[in-house]
Structure 1
Amino acid sequence: MRRVYIDLAVDCDDCAVPSRPALVRWCKAALAEAEGSMRLGLRVVAESEAAELNGRFRGRPGPTNVLSFPYHDAPLGKTRFLGDIVICAPLVKAEASRAGYPENAHWAHLVIHGILHLQGLDHETDQDARVMEARETRILTGLGFRDPYR
């Protein structure tokens, strides 16, 4: 039986975070095409931690909305550990508000975006971006959200 395990950690005071069932549903949707059982970490942080991680691991100043840290060749028995995703809750809220996009939809997009990075997709080239965005759109519309790129 295929299973998805999500280790959720919220380290952000006064941050609105979607329900665990919603987060699990989005994670499973992003992993629907993957084989076998998987585990991943999902950490929700404030802007200060997002900025520190962004500077340390990407060499970029300031916070970012989502960071992915893939783990390669990390089996846990029959379960494969994909890695960790870090999401900055205050940025999710601010970006959704600025874009006029429902906050829950933006959360879903960033969770899915982060998981696709854990699976090896990226958007470094135009072609890679088209592939990743098409997959994100397919997953999000399958969950009832609109295309975030339109």
Structure 2
Amino acid sequence: MPASDLVDTIVEDERWDALNLEALSQAAATATLKHLAHDPQKFEICVMGCNDARIAELNSEFREKPTATNVLSWPSEDRAADQPGGTPAPPGKDPTGMPVELGDIAISYETCLSEANAAAKSPKEHVTHLIVHGVLHLLGYDHICEEDAALMEGVEKEILADLGIADPYNI
């Protein structure tokens, strides 16, 4: 399977086409997996580009928060570390050699553009950051406690630096 098949992109809001969500998602997911020494050809991720109304529905349904947000992730399995600040378990391998589904990501156009504009950032760089963030969630990283947040943010910064994107937390 070629690396271009890593991400299945579903565009529900045509405004994503101007940012080329598919290419941004492929690049961000590939960089994330390679940075963590995972072969991108062995995995699959689904990214849905939607709008604030749709992501608010999803946020309400899955997190009981009836508001829009920038990105949501649904890992295919729990890979979180046992200890706060610990490295998550690596994804398993499919015994048949088929790509392993890591999970799904939804990202909202309006919220992403609003955040990028408010921070005077490039929308493409901000979306790339959020896709990296979402893929890390699929891989078991989180930011609920301080130790986990420090680990996840550190890994995000390294991946984004590999992609030529400045530290998003140093505003």
Structure-1-length-normalised TM-score: 0.91
Which region of structure 1 is more displaced relative to structure 2, 34-43 or 115-124? 34-43
Structure 1, unmatched stretches of 5+, are none
User: 1:61 corresponds to which residue?
Assistant: 66
The CA deviation at 1:75 is: 4.3
Structure 1 distance, partners of 2:167, 2:65, is 28
Contact 2:21 2:49 in 1 (8 A): no
Structure 2 distance, partners of 1:41, 1:112, is 13
Structure 2 distance, partners of 1:11, 1:77, is 32
Q: Identity of aligned pairs, percent?
A: 34
Is 1:118 paired with 2:118? no
Structure 2, unmatched stretches of 5+, are 78-91
The CA deviation at 1:84 is: 0.3
Contact 2:50 2:107 in 1 (8 A): yes
The CA deviation at 1:50 is: 0.4
* SS of corresponding position for 2:6: strand
Is 1:147 paired with 2:159? no
Count of residue pairs the alignment pairs up: 150
Is 1:88 paired with 2:108? yes
Contact 2:15 2:109 in 1 (8 A): no
Letter in 2 for 1:43: M
Please tell me the root mean square deviation across aligned C-alpha atoms, in Å.
Answer: 2.1
Aligned counterpart for 1:52 among listed residues 32, 54, 57: 57
Structure 2 distance, partners of 1:76, 1:103, is 39
Which structure carries more strand by proportion? 1
Aligned counterpart for 1:27 among listed residues 26, 29, 32: 29
Structure 2 distance, partners of 1:90, 1:22, is 17
Q: Moved runs in structure 1, 4+ residues, more than 6 A? A: none
The CA deviation at 1:102 is: 1.1
Letter in 1 for 2:43: M
Structure 1 distance, partners of 2:95, 2:61, is 27
Structure-2-length-normalised TM-score: 0.80
User: 2:13 corresponds to which residue?
Assistant: 12
Is 1:38 paired with 2:43? yes
